[in-house]
Amino acid sequence: MNQNQALFEYLLRLGDSDMVLAQRLCELVGKAPALEEEMAIGNVALDLIGQARSWLEYAAELEDAGRSADDLAFTRDERAYRNLLLVEQDNGNFADTMARQFLFDLWHYHLLSALSQSSDERIVAIAAKGLKEVTYHLRRSGNWIKRLGDGTEESHAKMQEAIDEIWTYAGEMFIADEVDSLLADAGIAPDLNALQQKWQSDLTTTLEEATLACPPMDAFMQTGSKQGMHTEQLGYLLAEMQFLPRSFPGASW
Amino acid sequence: MIRESDNSRSDAVAFETSSVDRLIASDRAGRSGVSGIRPALEEIWQLLEEVADPEVPVVSVVDLGIVRDLAWADEQLVVKVTPTYSGCPATEFIEQAIEEALHAAGIADVRLEQQLFPAWTTDWITDAGREKLRAFGIAPPVGSASKRTLLGEEPEVACPQCGSHDTSRVSEFGSTACKALYRCNSCLEPFDYFKCI
């Protein structure tokens, strides 16, 4: 694998995670528990779609195979998707949605902070732009973790259950493969161990404040997204997302 | 939702929508060298101050800091624009409005380039823009877009109606990506706050 192939893979991972999470969040538009939450969730999804577009446009240019960012988004099958297993998980109840969001936002925040120092200028531009948005996302999801964790007996129990439930999908974010190592050596992407330390330290602080217990890092963790091995949930999500462009190829407004 | 690559897109749009206008106008410029075809950049900045933001029409694309730079490359005007938010749905509309305004003013050959870096922040909003926002009933961003503002406590936002500092946040997100929803505890008016990013 050469550096360009690795970078293409890496950009797919970044773009796919943003897009799949955005698609999940959009499922809540029209049925969020409160209007303010609906606006927030919709806005977060919009930011993520914008970021996904930037990453996938870069990926498409790099691949230079006549595929556009749209083609990458709407014509790849499940096994070609490279998003984290975490983001494809169902919305569940509001605590589940927020647990998933918080674990993602915290990773996303530290990842984009690191990518803002990348040796690749275009990555720096996209990451620095996204970082401002993600900082805002993180503040909000972190506040919800604290509010629900340190809330009533019921909200505490649900929040704890949500963290425990999603935990098995968190470890994957920090398991490096050939792509990660190659790009880390080139100064393009960050070292995942360093990323994990920052993530874990912030996570511990927030969970403590929220009076929640942090599950063990050495618990069994699901993996596979980097090889395109996804959980059952992704197929359904893509079926809905890709239905229109696949049924009516080339359709435009 | 997902567009063609940024670099090629603006060119493509310009060619599709105005190739006829452009040919005619550039022919004219080439033959007679009429002044006004290539106005001074200062005049173009003034012209763009008339191009309103589609979602907050009291402020212009210049007030918001969306137009980064103007430059002539021979007969072609290169306009560097920056999106406010990565996913702002108004981005393409704004780019189109800028192009149309320039064509309408007789500038035939326009190229829009998207510039992501350095990232747009609310610090780019001009003082005039902040004043217009306030007059329109939208509280302008408070303070500077530092990491502390983003992660820290809520800023003290003054009510754009009565000026009271006794306000509270209703929602971190509002009617558009760039706004949060507030309420004044003194005059009881709800209002939009252009959030600091």
Distances in whole angstroms, Cα of residue B131 to Cα of each of A12, A204, B59, B94, B169: 42, 43, 9, 21, 21
Closest Cα in chain A to B121: A132
Contacts of A139 in chain B (CB under 8 A): 150-151, 172
Instruction: State residue B48 phi and psi, 5-degree precision.
Output: -70, -20
Domains, chain A: 3-247 (1.20.1260.10)
In this prediction, residue B8 carries a pLDDT of 40
Average pLDDT over residues A212-216: 97
Determine whether the interchain pair A69/B172 forms a contact, defined as Cβ–Cβ distance below 8 Å.
no
Average pLDDT over residues B153-164: 84
Average pLDDT over residues B20-47: 60
Residue B28 burial (CB count, 10 A): 14
Cα angle value B128/B103/A251 (rounded, 5°): 100
Cα angle value A127/A23/B171 (rounded, 5°): 75
In this prediction, residue A114 carries a pLDDT of 98
**Is residue B169 over pLDDT 60?**
yes
Q: Distance, in angstroms, between B36 CA and closest chain A CA?
A: 36
Contacts of A133 in chain B (CB under 8 A): 85-86, 197
Within 8 A by CB and 6+ apart from A12, the residues are A55, A56, A59, A72, A81, A82
Q: How confident is the model at residue A22 (pLDDT cuts 50, 70, 90)?
A: very high
* Residues A96-125 pLDDT 10s: 999 999 999 999 999 999 999 999 999 999
Within 8 A by CB and 6+ apart from A37, the residues are A28, A94
- Tokens at residue B189, please? 């008016």
Within 8 A by CB and 6+ apart from B79, the residues are B67, B69, B70, B98, B102, B110, B111, B112, B113
How many residues in total does chain B contain?
A: 197
Burial A104-131 (b: 16+ CB within 10 A, else e): bbbbbbbbbbbbbebebebbbbbbbbbb
In this prediction, residue B18 carries a pLDDT of 39
Q: Distance, in angstroms, between A121 CA and closest chain B CA?
A: 9
In this prediction, residue B156 carries a pLDDT of 83
The residue written with tokens 């490359």 in the block is B73
The residue written with tokens 């306000």 in the block is B167
In this prediction, residue A87 carries a pLDDT of 98
Residue B113 burial (CB count, 10 A): 16
Instruction: Note whether B86 contacts A: Cβ–Cβ < 8 A.
Output: yes
Q: How confident is the model at residue A250 (pLDDT cuts 50, 70, 90)?
A: confident
Closest Cα in chain A to B119: A129
Measured CA to CA, the distance from residue B110 to residue A153 in angstroms comes to 62
Instruction: Note whether B164 contacts A: Cβ–Cβ < 8 A.
Output: no
**Is residue B148 over pLDDT 60?**
no
Instruction: State residue B15 phi and psi, 5-degree precision.
Output: -65, -45
- A37: amino acid identity, one letter: E
Instruction: Note whether B30 contacts A: Cβ–Cβ < 8 A.
Output: no
Using CB atoms, which residue from B1, B3, B119 is nearest to A129? B119
Residues B124, B130, B133, B135, Cα dihedral to 10°: -170
Q: What order do you get walking across the sheet with B190-194 strand by strand?
A: B138-139, B190-194, B179-184, B167-171
Closest Cα in chain B to A138: B151
Written as one string, the DSSP assignment of A132-147 is: HHHHHHHHHHHHHHHH
CATH superfamily assigned to domain B6-114: Fe-S cluster assembly (FSCA) (3.30.300.130)
Within 8 A by CB and 6+ apart from A250, the residues are none
**Region(s) of chain B under CATH 3.30.300.130:** 6-114
Judged by DSSP in three states, A28 sits in coil
Within 8 A by CB and 6+ apart from A20, the residues are A81, A83, A87, A88, A234, A237
